[in-house]
Amino acid sequence: MKNIRLLSAWAIIALACFACKSNSGQPADSPQEAESAESAANHETAIIDSAKIAAGTAFLEEFYKVYDADYEQGGFNDEYIKSKITPNLKQWLMDSFDYDCDGECMANWLFCYNGGGDTGALKYRTIKHIGDTYIVSCHHDQGGGKEYHYSIELKLVQDGDSFKIDSMEIIEDRYDQ
């Protein structure tokens, strides 16, 4: 009988350990408190994730600010773009360049339009985070109330305290009819 009581005591201690609040080893006072501790941990992760998402969005906003300013000055700043992309995306942009070229030519226009036609002036651009990517949508004025719509999906990778653009996929490329 003494062994049964001893086993029962050890079972109660073991069950109490499963109900611990955190790594502190203190037992939870109630199931609600244990759930609250888990919710707080999830909230902390969400704050870190939302901070990273905001930093990625800020990185892309700054990238496009420089990209647009360079374009308005008459072209693309290849060195700036190369500094903001991974070798993976650089190779993809070089492979996408369909014209005769000496050296490392990249299809840098793909950050804002697919080429092959007049796109008109950029009306506005949106940047949205979805899943583990960012959707950049560009809307160009075609006159007469019509627009050219171009959207790309960009994947960012951490690069020290900042990011680099690792991949691009065109997901919309159309003119209003």
Which pLDDT does position 98 carry in this prediction? Answer: 85
Tell me the pLDDT of the chain averaged across its residues. Answer: 79
In a domain, 13, yes or no: no
Residue 143 has pLDDT above 50, yes or no: yes
Which pLDDT does position 36 carry in this prediction? Answer: 54
Q: Give me the number of domains the chain comprises.
A: 1
Residue 84 has pLDDT above 70, yes or no: yes
In a domain, 8, yes or no: no
In a domain, 22, yes or no: no
Looking at residue 95, which CATH number applies to its domain?
3.10.450.50
pTM for this entry:
0.71
Are 152 and 111 in contact by the 8 Å Cβ rule? The answer is yes
Q: How many CA atoms lie within 13 A of 54 on its CB side?
A: 6
> What angle is formed at CA 121 by the lines to CA 144 and CA 150, rounded to 5 degrees?
90
In a domain, 7, yes or no: no
Share of the chain above pLDDT 70, in %: 72
Alpha helices in the chain (DSSP H): 2-18, 31-72, 78-83, 87-95
